[in-house]
Structures are given as C-alpha cells and as structure tokens.
Amino acid sequence: MSEDDVPVSGKSKDKLVAAKQAWAQEGRFLTGSHSRNRLPPGQHETVDWPVLDLGIQPNLAEKDWSLSVGGAVENPLKWSWDDFLAQPQTELVSDIHCVTTWSRYDNTWNGVSARHLLAMAKPRASARFIMFRSYDGYTTNVPLARFADDDVLLAHSWQGEKLTREHGGPVRVVIPKLYFWKSAKWLRAITFMDQDSPGYWELRGYHDEGDPWTEQRYG
C-alpha cells in the first residue's frame, strides 16, 4: 500500500483537501474567541483603548461644538449639537485597527451614519474625496467611496457612554475598514472635493488610503 492510498480518493479527497485548506485560511476551530482572519496582517489585539493624537485635546462643550459640511455638495450644512442629535441615530459595532499595530475588537458606536449625512448634503457628481478637519487643527482625507460605506458613522458615544474628550468627544469619525488615523477626533468640518488632497499624516509619509487588509501603512 503506497502513501497515497488513503481511504478517501478521487473527487471526495479533493473536496476534503479544499475544505481543510479553507479552514486553515480562516483559522477555523481556533480556541480563541476570534478567527485568525479578523486580525489584519502585522496587527495584534489589545483590550485597552490607547490614546493617540498631536498632544492637543480640545476641551469642547457640546454647546460650543458644530459641524460644517461644504465643498462639492448641493446642500451645505451646519449642525449644532442639538441639530446633530435630531438626526436619525444609529448603532454600529466594529473593530479598530491602528497603524501602530494595535487592534481593538467589538467597539459599539452610536451616532449619525455617513449614509444619512450624504443623503442630506447631496455631494455633486464630481465629488470623489473628502477632507475631515478637526478642532485641534488635524486633517485627514479619504476617498468618498470609503466614507459612503455602510459601517461608517460620526460617533458621539462608545460602549453606551459619551465619547471622552481624549477619544475625540463631542463627535469623532469612525471608518472601521481604514487605519484609525483616518477616523478624525473632535470633528469640525467635512469638505467634499473633486481632487484628492493629503491630510496631516498623509503629508508625513503615511498612505493616502490606509487599508489595513493590504497593509497600506506608508505612502
């Protein structure tokens, strides 16, 4: 009996091999709480939530906060805190992937979906990119298609509590499918643009798009 003469053969053996290969790729049956392919390459899971910013943490009372939406849109907006809370509210759960290699699973966010903001502001057909501007002077750019994803929101709460000042309260952006530097804290304005333009980290060697799944860390 040769090595190849195992009890399964032909088509059924091929199927078994294909299935086992797929399990390996998705980390099936791992005893950890998450399958391996939940973690992008080069990342590790953390349970705490690190704080990363430029060292300025604006201290904004809700009454002093507003969001301006302009540029290539049919309907420019300016929302006060009360206006923001009067928009339809949404809850989304997602993972954070920071370019400094930590990932944090299962963050519950509450706020206003990007889809709703787009429906209200009505970007012109020419709009392809957006720039976020924050109260600390930070900026970051994303393709409009990334902002239009169904898991993107402007969040005021995390795990059922108001966002703290250090994590970007009153309102921050959350774009789960990009590295977390794209998720602007202390959001002040959103500008729709026909042409791309780099933000703070994009001007300093970081990738223009920042997809963690293809390790778009540096530009």
Ligand X SMILES: Nc1nc2c(c(=O)[nH]1)N[C@H]1C(S)=C(S)[C@@H](COP(=O)(O)O)O[C@H]1N2
Tell me which residues touch ligand X (CB under 6 A). 49-54, 98, 134, 136, 138, 167-168, 180-181, 183-186
CA distance to 41, 87, 98, 130, 177, per residue, from 211 (Å): 11, 29, 11, 16, 7
Q: How far is the CB of 54 from ligand X (least distance, A)?
A: 4
Q: What angle do CA 182, 203, 183 make, to 5 degrees?
A: 10
The answer to whether 140 and 131 are in contact (CB under 8 A) is yes
Give the total residue count for the chain. 219
Question: CA–CA separation, 34 vs 105, rounded Å?
Answer: 9
* Binding-site partner at residue 136 among Mo ion, ligand X, none, CB < 5 to 8 Å by type: ligand X
Residue 17's binding partner among ligand X, Mo ion, none (Cβ under 5 to 8 angstroms by kind) is none
* DSSP, res 171: -
Are 202 and 141 contacting, i.e. CB atoms less than 8 angstroms apart?
yes
32 binds, among Mo ion, ligand X, none (CB under 5 to 8 A by kind): none
Residue 181 within binding range of Mo ion, rule CB under 5 A? yes
* 154 versus 184: smaller Cβ distance to ligand X: 184
Of the pair 111, 168, the CB lying nearest ligand X is at 168
Smallest gap from Cβ 97 to ligand X, in A, equals: 9
**Cα distances (Å, whole numbers) of residue 38 to 32, 47, 77, 214, 217:** 12, 15, 37, 13, 18
Residue window 28-67: x/- pattern of binding to Mo ion, with contact defined by CB under 5 A: ------------------------x---------------
Closest to ligand X by CB, 32 vs 42, is: 42
CA 137 vs. chain centroid, Å, equals 20
Residues 93-122 that bind Mo ion (CB under 5 A): 98
Task: Note the residues at the interface with Mo ion (CB under 5 A).
Answer: 52, 98, 181
